[in-house]
Each structure stands twice: as structure tokens, then as C-alpha cells.
Amino acid sequence: MMALSWLLVLLAITSTTISTNPGVTVRLTDKGLQYGKQLGIAALQKELQSVHIPDYSGSEHVSPIGKVTYSLTNMRLVNTGLPRSAVNLVPGTGVRLTIGDAFMNLHGDWRVKYLRIIKDSGSFDVNVNGLTISTTIAVKSDETGRPVVSNTNCVATVGSAKVKFHGGASWLYNLFSKFINKALCKALQEQICPLVDKTVAGLNPKLKTLNVLAKVDKYAEIEYSMVSSPAVSQSSIDLNLKGEFYNIGKHQEPPFTPAAFSLPSENNNMLYMALSAFTANSAAFVYNKAGVLSLYITDDMVPKSSPFRLDTKTFGVFIPQIAKQYPGLMMKMLVRAEKNPSVTFQPKNATLQATGTVTAYAIQHNGTLSPLFVLNLESSVSADVFVRGLSVAGHLTLNEMKLSLGTSYVGPFQVGSIDSALRTVLKIVVIPIVNVQLDKGYPLPALGKMNLVKPQIQIMKDYMLIGTDVDFTG
């Protein structure tokens, strides 16, 4: 007993250490489940139209008439109703669907022959009432990391069938009612669960549209495959996704891993998506690795309306040696990240810290670049994030900037004297260019044909949370 419990403790520890924290969690709430139920019931109702009741024929001895041969043909469903249904979460498994008080109305033709020569025919209506269906839909992860559902433990029962004949003699009614009742109940019981199976299986092609590898641009893609089986609790289904940016084609892991985070117990929306700081930082890692976090700045990138020009005259105001040694020349600057920029999420606060260098050059008349100085730059920018369509986009504003001198090629000078010039360069050139990129947006995890309805976004500790309703068009 002792040994066994130690083994269990060991297993528990091992499995927590090897488990992977998700970068992104998508939560389906009860409200989302109820919306899903509406779609599911509509799909099932459509599927039930294909219930097929076989023709019946045979003969029976009826006294005092003798042998009666009969046939019931062309039975078809004219109406079906699923007025009462419920879905509940089954922790650890998936979803339980129960349907009660369902009904079906059928119409068919009857035909009899007796006393050798007498033939009669007419039609009939059947009302099947008290149909109940209950089933459990298991939610799992498939081999591609997408959710997959399967139907288990389906039970269908038929309450009663009432037959109303049109035409014919009343003694026939008793004869048929018995058969129709039995035949119908059997046929329906045999066919309903397979049709429920088919309806549930029909969800899988839709779930397969989850964008497990979402392309961002020519450098990056985001992996949204599940890192573990869906977690079904009393109140939600959580899909734990990798949520990691990768260089297209070469998936190199960054030197950091996702921290565990837990979602608040809100349930006003159908869906919540939590995107961790890890996801944002994996983006920074990828773009830095791709070598795209550097930018040459020339005067033509400075808005015409600005009095600030990128030339030795302007910088000569702050560092007189520049105007003296390189009079009347235009300048060029290289701003480059020296480390992976890092994103932190604090409640209501998304901040990006970037460390880099700024190298300034004078452009000689023959095109040669003469270096003037190299500065070390530490900047902190705040990010506004917003949802557009099925993407999350951002907008940065400069918070703080710290400069220190790396190298000077023009003799000693006070770094503080060009602080405002550098701040201007960041504000009117660098950040607007970054913002154009961020404004293009980054794809969220989504199923095909899904739309977000009134998404709201808030920054929480270590993640940003998008709460939204959804609808599926088509």
C-alpha cells in the first residue's frame, strides 16, 4: 500500500514536470455550449429527415373474414420536432446531450386484399410522441492537435405511436395499428442513434478547420495545436494550445517557456481566449532571429512637416563638432535591437522593453557613410491591443527612453544633449513604422466561418484575455 502510494506520488510529480504549459488557452463556457446546442439540434433535426421506414407487407387471419393480405408503403416523415433539449458538461469527458418530448409525424399508404376479390386502400398518419434521446459526446485531441468529437452511450426510446387511418373499414384499424406501432418503434430505435452519430461526426470536418498553423507574414507563423487533451470541467471546456510563433519552415525553440496562468471564472461570453506573454515574447524572438528588428532611417522618412531634419546642421546644434567636421551633410541612422524585446502583461498594462543601439552616420557627397556615434538605447513602450476580425493587433506609444554612449567618433559630448532629438526620431519615425506592422494583426485561433461578436480585450497578469461571443455564418 505504502509503495503504491509513493509510486502514485512519483507519477504525479513526473507528469507535472513533463507537462507543457499552453501559450494560449481557449475556453468554451456554458453560454457557448448553449449556442452550440442550438446549432447541433438544428443539424440533428435535418439529419432526422432521412429516417427511413421500410415498407411492410404480410398476411393475417382475421375472423370471420379469413385471410387478409396487407401492405403499408411510402411511409415518410412529414414533420419532426425537438422542442426540449439540454446539454451539460461531463467533467473529464465532454458533453451530455438529452432530448425529450420529441415527436415525428409520418404519412403512408395502406392496401388490403381479402375474401379473394375485395381490395381496399387508403392513407394513414402516424404521430410518434415521447421520443427521448440521450448521448455523451466525448471531446478529445486528434493526432494533429485539433479537437475531435465522438458519440458514445447513445440511447433512443420511443414513447407512443398513434395511427389515424383515412378510408377503409374500422376493423382494419386494429389490425394495422398493432403492426405499425411495433414496426415504427423498432425502426426508429434502430435508426435514431446512428443519425445522432452522423450528426456528431459531422462536427469533425468543422473542427478540422482549426488553424493549427496560422501564417502571419513571410517570416512567421503561429502554432495553435493543442498541447494536451481538452480539459472538461463543470463549467467549461478548455483547449490548451501551444500558442507559439515560429520562423516559417524552421521551428526553433526560444530560451524560455510558457508560465502557467489561470483564467478568471467569468462566463458572460461564449468564448474566452487567453494569449500569454510567452506568445508575444515568442514573436519577438522570431522577428529578432529573422534579423528584421533593425531599421535604417533617412531624412526622407521624417515627415516633411517636422522642423526636425536628419542632417548635421540639426545635430550640430546639440553636438557642435558634428556641424564643424561634417558641414552641410545629410545623416543616416541605424536602429537595431540587441536583445529579444520583451513583453510583460500586468493588469491593464502591456509593456514592451527593447534594448538596442543607434548608430549615426554623416552621408558624404560621394555616398560614403562616416560614423558619428553609437548609442545604447533602452526603451519602454506601452502597447494598446485590440481585436479586428479574427486578428489581434497592437499600437505602441513611447513611454521611457534611456540613452548611454557606446562610442563617439566626434570626440566627447553629453548624451543628454541629444536625448530629445532621439526621442523625436523614435516617436515620428521608428514607432510609426512598427505600428504599421502591428496594425496588420496576428491571427487568433479560429475555426473556419467563425465570427467574433463584440469581442472585448483586457490585459491581465501574464496574459491578455479576449472575451467574445461567436457566430458561424454558413
Ligand X SMILES: *[C@@H]1O[C@H](CO)[C@@H](O)[C@H](O)[C@H]1NC(C)=O
User: Nearest distance from residue 285's CB to ligand X, in Å?
Assistant: 19
Site stretch for ligand X (CB under 6 A), options 152-160, 176-184, 310-318, 360-368: 360-368
Q: How far is the CB of 315 from ligand X (least distance, A)?
A: 18
One of 73, 321, 344, 391 touching ligand X (CB under 6 A): 344
CB of 321 to ligand X, least distance (A): 16
Stretch that binds ligand X, among 15-23, 68-76, 319-327, 346-354 (CB under 6 A): 346-354
Whichever of 346 and 417 has its CB closer to ligand X, that residue is: 346
Q: Which three cell numbers stand for residue 392?
A: 489581434
Q: Of the two residues 364 and 437, which places its CB atom closer to ligand X in the complex? A: 364
Do 177 and 127 touch, CB atoms closer than 8 A?
A: no
Choice between 380 and 391, CB closer to ligand X: 380
Q: For the CB of residue 344, give the shortest distance to ligand X in the complex, in Å.
A: 5
Regarding 233 and contact with ligand X (CB under 6 A), the answer is no
Kindly state whether residue 366 participates in binding ligand X, applying the rule CB under 6 A.
yes
Residue 347 found at the interface with ligand X (CB under 6 A): no
Question: Binding string, 396-435, against ligand X, x = CB under 6 A?
Answer: ----------------------------------------
325 in contact with ligand X (CB under 6 A): no
Q: Which of 267, 150, 147 is nearest to 212 (CA)?
A: 147
Binding segment toward ligand X, per CB under 6 A, in 72-80, 199-207, 322-330, 341-349: 341-349
Minimum distance of ligand X from residue 345's CB (angstroms): 9
Separation of alpha carbons 282 and 113, rounded Å: 80
Residues touching ligand X: how many (CB under 6 A)? 8
In whole angstroms, give the CA distance from residue 277 to residue 340.
Answer: 13
Verify binding: residue 458, ligand X, rule CB under 6 A: no
Q: Is the Cβ of residue 221 or residue 462 nearer to ligand X in the bound state? A: 462
346 near ligand X (CB under 6 A): yes
Residue 317: CB minimum distance to ligand X, A: 23
Interatomic CA distance for residues 111 and 205, integer angstroms: 45
**Binding range to ligand X, per CB under 6 A, among 109-117, 122-130, 363-371, 411-419:** 363-371
Q: Does 349 sit near ligand X (CB under 6 A)?
A: yes
Nearest to 147 by CA among 276, 18, 28, 278: 28
Least Å from the CB of residue 400 to ligand X? 7
Q: Which is nearer to ligand X, 295 or 403 (CB)?
A: 403
For ligand X, the closer of residues 33 and 323 by Cβ is 323
Distance CA 93, CA 139 (A): 6
At its nearest, how many Å lie between ligand X and the CB of residue 394?
15
Select the residue interacting with ligand X from 15, 63, 174, 368 (CB under 6 A).
Answer: 368
Instruction: Restricting to residues 369-398, name those near ligand X by CB under 6 A.
Output: 380
Which stretch, 136-144, 216-224, 361-369, 383-391, contacts ligand X (CB under 6 A)?
361-369
Among 10-18, 172-180, 187-195, 364-372, which window interacts with ligand X (CB under 6 A)?
Answer: 364-372
Out of 351, 357, 376, 408, name the contact with ligand X by CB under 6 A. 351
Instruction: Give the residue with the Cβ less far from ligand X, 364 or 417.
Output: 364
- Closer residue to ligand X, CB minimum distance, 265 or 368: 368
State how far the Cα of 362 lies from the Cα of 312, in Å rounded to an integer: 7
CB contact at 8 A, 140 and 95: no
**Would you tell me which residues interact with ligand X (CB under 6 A)?**
344, 346, 349, 351, 364, 366, 368, 380
